[in-house]
Every structure is written in C-alpha cells, then in structure tokens.
Amino acid sequence: MTAFFIRRIFQMILVVLVSAVATYALLNLAPGGPLAGLRQQQQSARFQITEEDIARIRAYFELDLFLPYRFTRWLIGVPTGPVVIGGNEYFSDLVVGCRKPIESDILNAETGNYEIVITGCKEDVFMKDLVGRRSSRGILLGDFGLSWRILRDRPVSDLLLSRLSKTLQLIGLSTLLSLLIGVPLGVYSAVRQYSRFDYIFTSLAFMGSAMPTFFFGLLMIILFSLVPKEAGWPYVPSGLSESVRDYTIPIIGAVEAGSFKDRSLHILLPTAVLTIVNISFYSRFVRASMLEVMRQDYVRTARAKGLGERVVILKHALRNALIPFITIVVFTLPGLFSGALITESIFAWPGMGRLYLLALGDFDYPVAMAIFFILAILTVIATLMRDFLYTIADPRIRLS
C-alpha cells in the first residue's frame, strides 16, 4: 500500500505540472488578451495611445517576456534577475523578452482577414532588467499573484477566498440534498422496476436531465419570482446572495437585508435548480447500477439462503452498486471549489463559477489560471480518494 501511495503521489505531481503547462500556454496563446482593447483605441482618432504606453502596459502584464520565462515566474517565482554565484552575475545579457515588438498586418489567405503578426523587435528585455520588477513567489508556494482587472493590484488569493464561501454554501447544500434524495429514489425505482412509480420516476428523471440548466433556471425565476411578485403573491428573490436594502414579501413579512432570512430566501432558487438536475442524474445512475447488480448470482444466492429482502438490497446489492457511483461522487470535490458556471451566472450568485467567467471575459489571467491550477490539484486528490473508497466499499479490492 505504501508503494502504491508513493507511486500515485509522483503521478499526481506529474499530472498537475502538465495541466499547469497546458493551461498557461492555452490562455496566453489564445486570441485577444489585455492589449486587444488598447490596439483598437490606438487606431481611433479620439484616443492617443502611444507606442511607449503600449510598452509600459506590456511590462505591467509581463507580456514583454517570452512565454517560458513568464511561466516559470508564475509557477515558482524565478527568474528575478541574473544568477549570482560568489558575487559574480551570470546571464545578465540573456534576452528574455521584447519590450517593443515590430507588428505587421498580414493578410491571411484562408480567412481573407488581416492579422497582426510580430516580425521583429525594436527593444529587447534582458535578464538584468528583471531586477526590481514586481513578481510573485510562485503559485507552487501559494502566491497566486495580483489581479489584473477584477480587483486591480489586489492579491488573487483574497479574491478567491471572498467568493469561496458562497460557492461552498450553494454547491455543498445542493450536493447533499441530491445525494440524500437521489440515491434512495434510484434504489427504490430499481427494486420496483416496471411499476407505476418506476415509469413516473424515469420519465421525470429524463426530463430533468434533458432540460438545459439555463432554461430551467430562467423558468424557475419566472414561475417563483417574477410572476408572483407582479401578482402580489409571496415570491422568492431571484438574484445575488443577499439584498442591499430591506424589503417586504406578502405573508412572510419584512425581511432585513443581510439577515439569515434574507440569505436563506436568496439561496432557495439556485439550490433548487442544481438539486433537481443532480437528482435526475444521480438517481438514474444508481437505478441502472442496482438493476445490473440485482441480476448477479450472489444476490440470488443471498435470497435462496433465506435472507430478508431488506438485507439483500442494502447489504449485498446496494454496497456493490455504489462502487461505480463513488467515481461520480468524489469528483464533486472539484465542483465544491469551481461552482456552477451557468447557474451562478443566471442567478448572479457571487461564487467561483461566476468569478471564473468574469476573469476570462476581462482577461484577468492570474485569477483564471489560479482557479485552473487549484481545480487540477483537487481533481487528482479526488482520484486518490476514489481508490481508497473503492477498498472500503469492496474489501476484495486491494491497493497494490
């Protein structure tokens, strides 16, 4: 078991590093970026953006450094200048970037559009120029750097922590309710196969899983917030995690902004959407797994030995049926951090999912890359947890 654990640790480290390289390269090579708007303003007669302004902003975002050097500074915080050994500096004149690139508009023969292509460099960046430049200690040491746009020049870690609690509330509550409701429903539907309940349950589960989340969320807002509010009936707030001012709901009464009642009302709709969607998926998966297990010989043998139906279902069938279900459950761990992108956007819930979309839209790469990196770590941890839970669910499985 120790050898297995050590081997998996090395595999996890390799996977995290590869995902970090891939994520950083994709974000930095994607079209657009923080300078896209400035280039458009540079071509406008209203705004005068000089070449020196562009160079200064490129240095602020470290876009004047070559990709490998930007990546190592983001990952481990080096290089920060020449290598000093015994009082002597080495690699001082090593070119690590380009401060003022030469850009040309070149016609793309395939698309017929003009594209900006770097054809040379007017002013290089040397290793000695990195001395005194602002740099993080590296994401491996827990320093995610500073936000570019959302909270300008504020630590990314502060921004993540401010959103994490809201995501844990929403995703944690919906996941817990989904498991407590979905698993028993799936088991009961499998035991009562071809019954009226099974037909109704299967139809509703298919409808719940087939309905797009954004449509379901908008439908819930219309049915339980907008229409009742217009009619003067009790309604549920449809956006944000809490109100900015006090309000009154018929029958419920006055609600103080920021109170427990206010936060509870705001979390109802997004939790209901996620719970119903997850119940549809979890229950169908458990039902299919239970039906497969109940056809096995050991289940028929348990019944032939005279064991009660409850013991056969809960001890013999359900325990083995949950083995493939464990794979799905453990991967909710990254979801507890990443949040629900679509649901948080629809309900304006200030969680990690909405933050991720906002970071991509504003080209706030330090925030987006921090979320990517933490998700990679949580995913490999969830994979390791899955292997250990397999041994608990089925003692015949050994870690070797």
pLDDT tens-digit series, residues 98-157? 988 887 777 676 777 767 777 788 889 999 999 888 888 888 888 888 898 888 888 999
At 33 the pLDDT is 67
Instruction: Copy the structure tokens of residue 121.
Output: 């460099």
Q: Is the pTM of this model over 0.75?
A: yes
Q: How many helices (H) and strands (E) does the chain have?
A: 16, 6
At 244 the pLDDT is 87
Q: Residue ranges of the chain with pLDDT lower than 70?
A: 1, 32-48, 107, 109, 114, 339, 395-400
Instruction: Copy the structure tokens of residue 95.
Output: 């070119």
Please provide the average confidence, as pLDDT, over all residues in the chain: 86
Taking the domains of the chain in order of start, what are their residue ranges? 39-143, 158-393
Task: List the CATH code of the domain at 158-393.
Answer: 1.10.3720.10
Kindly state the percentage of the chain with pLDDT values over 70.
Answer: 92
Phi and psi based region of residue 385 (left: phi greater than 0; alpha: psi -120 to 50; beta: remaining): alpha
At 338 the pLDDT is 73
> In Å, what is the CA distance from 280 to each residue of 202, 221, 337?
9, 20, 22
At 106 the pLDDT is 75
Are 234 and 225 within 8 A, CB to CB?
no
